[in-house]
Each structure stands twice: as C-alpha cells, then as structure tokens.
Chains A and B, each alone.
Chain A
C-alpha cells in the first residue's frame, strides 16, 4: 500500500515540478504583461497545488494532510484575487494590452 502511495506522490510531485517550471518559463517568455498573467495562472494554483497534493500522499492521514489541503484551498481562493487586482490596476493605469486582431500569430511574438 505504501508503495502505491509513494508512486502516486512521486507522479504528482513530478507533474507539479514540471508545470511550475513551465509557468516560470512562460512568465519569462510572454511578450506583454497581460499574457504573463496567464503564465502565472498556470503556475500559481495549478503547479503548486499538484506538488502539495503529492506531499499529501506522502504525509498520510495526519494533521499535516489537513493543513496541506487547507493551504491548497487558500491558494485557490487568493491567487485569482491577486491576478484580477493586477490586471485591473494595469488596465486602469492605461497599460494597453497587446492584441492580435486576426493577424498572423507569428508577428505578435516577434514584437517583443
């Protein structure tokens, strides 16, 4: 039984680490601020939550698991709030989003 839990936990942690690095890479690669928000949105609740779920499998049925679950729910609630506040503040500040009006998709990324 512990072997199954170990394998499941390993899979979750590996997937979480993968998505975390992909999200950080996206934050570095994306051309403007609003698109970077999307990359942060894949890293923030998604990759980090997967790592925490992996840790839950490792902890077993203890208080630590409940704390990890609470941490996941907390991240799920707070991360959209800060992302929305960021986007709204940038929009009100007058930062124009980079838009692709039915042009070729390639020239958006080259305008960095």
Chain B
C-alpha cells in the first residue's frame, strides 16, 4: 500500500500545476484560434431571463448595456413569469411566459423554451441571429457582447467572474464571494479547454451563453430537466455536432448574499447535474461520463491530498525529494491561481470609487483570496457533500441577487415559479 499511496497523493497535489497549464493552453487557444466574423450575423438578441423579482437589477443591466457603444443591431429581451408588472421600459421586448404554456422542460428551461418559440415565430431561428442569455444578476462587459456576437461559432461563451459586489460586506457575502473564486478558476481552466479546444463542454454557464438561432432551433430547451438547462443545452449542442467556442471576456455575476442562498444555489446545481448525468434522455453518455469524472476528481483531489499530507507528516509514507519540490511548486501555483481569481474578480470599478480605494480593495481582495484558499477549497467539498445530503430539490429555486433583495423571502419567487410551471 505504501508504494502506490505516495503516487496517488502526488497526482492530487499536482492538480493545480496541471490545471495552470490547461488554463494557459485554453487561453492561448482563444488568442490564437478564436474566429470572429461579424458579417455572418445581422441580428443580435440579448435576453435576460428572470422570475420577475429583480426588476431594479434587470433595468440596471439594461441601462448598462444601452450605455455601451454597440456596433451591431441588437434587441434586449426580458423573459419573465406572469404576475409581474412590465417595469422594463428600456427593453425591446418583454416576453411573459403564459401560465398555460407547457412543455417537457420546467422552470427556467420552460421560459427559455417559450422564448425560443417566440423567436421561431419571428423567424429568428436562423444562423444569422445571435443571442446572448443573461440572468438577472449578470452584467456583460461591452467587449463580451461584441465578441460573443462576432464569434463564428454555433455556441460560445466567455468567462464568469463574480465581480459584482465581490468581497463586499456583509461578512457572509465576503466569504461567499471568495468561495466563488473557484468558479472563475474552473471557468478559465475547464471552459477554455473543453469548450474552446475540445469542443465538448465540461461546464456550461447560462450567464452569457451565446448561440445562433439555428443552434437554438436544433437543440431547443425542451429537455426533461428542472435545472442545469445550460449544461444540458451545451452538451447536447456539442453532441449534435454544433461548434463550440470560448473567448476570454467577462460575464460579471453576483455571488450569493446569504449562506442559505448559497446552499440553495449549489443544491440546485448539484442535483440538476446529477439528474442530467443519470438520465440518458437529458445528457448524452459521453457528456455524462465527462461530468461525473469531474465530480469524482474534485472529491478525489481533496481527499487524496488531505490524506497524503497526514501520511507524510506522520512518516507513514515517504515521498521522493523531487516530488516534494513538485508539491511546493504546485502549492505555489495553487495559491497563485487564487490570487489571479481575487485580482480579476476585484477588477470591477464602481463609478463612485476613487482610484486609490479601487486598487487598495483589489490588492486586499487578492490577498484575501490567497489566505482563504484552504477555506474555499474545503467549503466547496463541504457544499458538495451537504447538498447531496440535503436531497433533490426537484425545483428551480431562485436566490436573491442583490444585497437589497437578499433579505426578502425567496420562497415567494419559488412559489411563483411553481405556479408558473403548473
């Protein structure tokens, strides 16, 4: 046992090192190989899908997009659930999913499916229509929208960065922001490589997902799912031979504001993914295996590295000197990864923020990201196990997206969604 244990530990320890090379290759691939051709597209739809509880935030996002010097014709659509007033004066279209609309998909996917049918009605199911999907907590940068529009791919997306309110008070949000450091890291590593190079995604995030009308028509949102509609769509698009692309621009989102919201969100992701993995009418086998391996690797890395440290410190196993050096390199790279996450995520400057305050905060958040790296890594696994224990929510539980709405009961939104689903 002592002969193979060190090697297992070494593999776990080396993961950050391997990841940083994957990240670099993915990034290089974008810079060297990402294809843009604006002439292929003549219509751009930016769709914000919302339950309707974050109206102020949605309007803020719309205003933000309107302030960009966009270089193409575009429309902003808001897709919401009934029962909300139309308070999106700057939206080009507001699509309210009828109560009596029914399809195989549930919750958010149902709303997306309805909006797809609207687009088909409008003749927007063509390859010259590009659309970018946003949530009611996401702000794309101008560069993101421009690149997403120009990207010569059937489906593509950029990098998620929890930049909005990153590391801000209250303390729970500060911690949760840094726990989301791994989201950025995973996106930079695995989205860039699996979407950009391999063309078969490992992660797909609905925030900023950009597709053509043809892609949407081919794949549709109508899958037997209650969550993970982005992963399902992305994997099936790849399985149908559609071309995936990845670009390095930021889609900025908000980390949960409360622990309850965090677990609610992670539970939805976890069980949405499990549902997708175990059902062949949702995910193709290859994608299911890929994603299951990813979960296994996360758990393995955490457990194997933890156990290895204990065994090495107790001299139960001996590790060769070069492996020790590699471990230290890998540890340094791991911490650098977190520093990079902190640096990028703290890179959104508020209009009323002085330069000194911005840079001071950025440096502080970078240090915090490094210091909190063990907590972040541990808590991700804790969340994984906890959400498994909590069980399948079988619903799309939305969470509050701003500090202001985080205090309100989220149950209302959920009830509304369920009602909508009926």
Q: Please determine whether chains A and B interact with each other in the same assembly.
A: no
Interface residues of B (CB under 8 A from A): none
